[in-house]
Structure 1
């Protein structure tokens, strides 16, 4: 039992660094733009490059983890992250910082690609839900406190320290990493061509989407999108029939896995489109200060932190599809309540109440749905299943941001539009979860 506790600690520190590093850099963007003397639009690439590289590398790294060993890849990723964090600290211009952020993303992708597979090895199958619930607490707490930590760093020191904030978690995880399980790697060749096609697919398609959202010319976005579509066709064609494909077509052919993955994707589209719209709506419609907006928005992740462990515990005993479906129904109701807010300030209670309800829904959904995805895959494919959870989160985030950008461009982003779109996505996600009622 003590060995398992140390292993849980190593995974927990690794999860904390992933969430903190992804969330904390956003706070520093205006300060970095001023310090490096670049436009704020250019500074945003610090986040977009990181997320794009992460999305491109996740599935190829999950296959690499099967080839060289999950523990080895996990710790190699943490070492890469620490070294890249030092490069971020010493960056003297934007290109150098972007290169270091890309290296950080590669390290994080290596960690994230196999963390769920390691989690499945650490916990017995009867307690996997509790493990995923604990993981959800860490994700929620890190996301909730990242803005505060980032603001404190900027108030006391240089923006450069923001990129070192998560490094101690990697060091701590490495220090106790010898307790992590080390299953023998699979003896199979690594599909390098498939990994390259996977990176091309996500890089070109999401890159074209990002460029289109930011108003780039069709002469640039159209060829990139075409390259992505051709890459997708070649990639899917190559992966069909392979014993352990990088894109887990074998797992997606299983209804339970496909439905749970679709539900996860829609839930992330809904939450990101809605969450990113809140500062615009609360600021423009109700003239709330940034501190007030932050306090209101914290209600969602803080509530989710409380609910997540109970949902994880229940997912070991109750139908996971039922729990996920109920969670998405609560989120749908929360979004609809937010869409019905009056044009004049309704009071903090009417703002925070629906957000807490949404936090309950998210907490009830995340751990059981992740449990369902992992348990639908054989243990030999745990890394691919876990990487799909992370890929759907990142892809859903990118699509949610694109949906909001389209609503803002059409003049519908400051009112109830984002909440109504989020409610529709949550309703379909609930239907997918209820279709897995026996799981």
Structure 2
């Protein structure tokens, strides 16, 4: 496709039939990347046992995937602006599929962690440009629906992840958790190769040194956050913080004056973009706090069984999936700050009401509170994503897409680390503390979201 044709497509979106096929192929890749986070968490004890690894060491099966994603999101987003979002998404899908095969064939913990690292890089490439591709697939007046579909797919992947993992483990061993990605990845790749649109490309070149600084800055920061929450060795934590700070300084100096910096500080000069990104971080911190602490809360505080817990966790992501479509359509007509603020107030009420439950609480009492959380979270997501993307120039869609994914993953990682810290404060009340902190983050996010009304968007 010519540059002129790509530019025209970016303004009008794809025809309806092509739009459906493009979204189907793109969302398959997004679903696989999201699903792999959920199934690995659920299957961690089984993998640790079969690999003869300690629980502490086996956590790297999850950490390697998350670190790789957070550290490489912005470089891939910047690469998408230069090489084309389609190329980056296809390359990420290829790497993810091959790395999934490597995970299935892993013979030891180090080999599995190395494969998971590559898998995380592939997932990062897909997630970094997915929002930018949605912006290219849909015309401006329908982009809210596209972002709502994205929210639905991610929510469903998280909802069915534990069930899928339990089903596979009941029938076979853990390598099949990753082997199942291979045929699905091949099918998604064959569809995406034909369906994903070409987009205009920027004229500037890739700054490899800035990309390395970015990997060091985000990777060491997330590592330090996790180590601080888990009470790591006193000598290691200062070294990680110092290394992260040095990489941040070098990155900012390297990108000073750049027309399209890899770390898009220029976009944060737009108040709508900055406030929407902060809202996203706060909300996904709530999700990280809640999704990590609630299984312990249900089992240890409320006395529920592990099987009960699986069902009790379902209303939240299920309602996110439903509300994602509703809120996506509403965001095409109404103010994103208002929609997001209302959603976050509902989310705040939901987690605070959950924290007040005591042993013996009925399924109904738990279920409607979890549903309230899901409605609130789903009401926020699509409008906020549209606000972020709509406040960035079309030529910077890649950088904006990278910030969407970075805010989500860094918020979730922060929330998970805070849960670990709450457990260090109290073994018995740690889950309640975590839910109270989640309520605080939701209230802060609501205040930030409502402040966007002053901007008139």
CA distance in 1, matches of 2:448, 2:175: 43
Q: CA RMSD in A?
A: 1.2
Q: Aligned residues, how many?
A: 438
Q: Distance in 2 between matches of 1:70 and 1:56?
A: 18
Correspondence for 1:248 among 254, 259, 264? 264
Relative distance call for 1:391 and 1:163 in structure 2 (3 A) is same
Answer whether contact 1:240 1:249 (CA < 8 A) is retained.
no
Equivalent of residue 176 in structure 2, options 142, 147, 161: 161
List runs of 5+ in structure 1 lacking aligned partners. Answer: none
Confirm whether residue 176 of structure 1 aligns to residue 191 of structure 2.
Answer: yes
Is residue 278 from structure 1 mapped to residue 294 from structure 2 by the alignment?
Answer: yes
Say which is worse superposed, 218-227 or 310-319, in terms of deviation.
Answer: 218-227
Tell me what 1:263 maps to. 279
How far does residue 136 in structure 1 lie from its aligned partner after superposition?
1.1
Tell me if the contact between 1:335 and 1:420 (Cα under 8 Å) persists in the aligned partners: yes
Q: Distance in 2 between matches of 1:26 and 1:301?
A: 16
| 1:334 aligned onto 2:355 | no
How far is 1:425 from its partner? 0.7
In the alignment, what sits opposite 2:382?
367
Preserved contact between residue 21 and residue 165 of structure 1 (Cα < 8 Å): no
SS of the residue aligned with 1:416? Answer: helix
Asked if the contact 2:422/2:431 (under 8 Å) is kept, the reply is no
The residue number in structure 2 matching 1:305 is 321
Q: Is the 8 A contact 2:229 2:418 kept in 1?
A: no
Q: Does 1:79 align with 2:94?
A: yes
Deviation at 1:74, TM superposition (A): 0.7
Q: TM-score, normalised by structure 2?
A: 0.94
Alignment partner, residue 401 of structure 2: 386
1:49 matched residue in structure 2: 64
CA contact (8 A) 1:200 1:231 kept: yes
Gaps of 5+ in 2: 1-15
1:226 and 1:173 mapped to 2: Cα distance? 41
Q: How many angstroms apart in 1 are the aligned matches of 2:295 and 2:39?
A: 17
State the 1:415 CA deviation: 5.0
Q: Which residue of 2 aligns with 1:235?
A: 251
Question: Match of 2:343, SS?
Answer: helix
Confirm or deny that 1:30 pairs with 2:45.
yes
The two structures have a TM-score, normalised by structure 1, of 0.97
Distance in 2 between residues matched to 1:45 and 1:306, nearest whole Å: 33
Distance 1:415 1:158, change over 3 A: closer
Q: Which residue of the partner structure matches residue 161 of structure 2?
A: 146
Shift of 1:253: 1.1
- CA shift, 1:229, in A, is 0.9
**Aligned runs of 1:357-436 on 2, under 5 Å?**
357-411=372-426, 413-436=429-452
Q: Shift of the alpha carbon at 1:2?
A: 1.6
Paired with 1:416 and 1:181, the residues of 2 have a C-alpha distance of: 47
Give the deviation of 1:340 after TM superposition: 2.0
Structure 1, residues 377-436: CA drift from partner, whole Å, max 9, x if none? 011111111111110111011110111111110007445322211111111101111111
> In the alignment, which of 117, 121, 124 is matched to residue 102 of structure 1?
117
Distance in 2 separating the partners of 1:297 and 1:280: 11
Structure 2 distance, partners of 1:98, 1:414, is 29
Aligned partner of 1:325 in structure 2 is: 341
The superposition leaves residues 300-334 of structure 1 with CA deviations (integer Å, 9 ceiling, x where unpaired) of 01111111101000000011111001000100111
Q: Deviations over 1:56-106 (max 9, x none)?
A: 100011111112111111101111111111111111111111111111111
Partner of 2:312: 296
Question: Offset at 1:5?
Answer: 1.5
Q: Which of residues 200, 219, 227 in structure 2 aligns to 1:211?
A: 227
What CA distance in whole angstroms lies between the structure 2 residues aligned with 1:371 and 1:275? 25
Distance 2:131 2:183 in 1: 21
Shift of 1:162: 0.5
1:190-239 Cα offsets, whole Å, 9 max, x none, are: 11111011011011111122223233211111111111111112212322
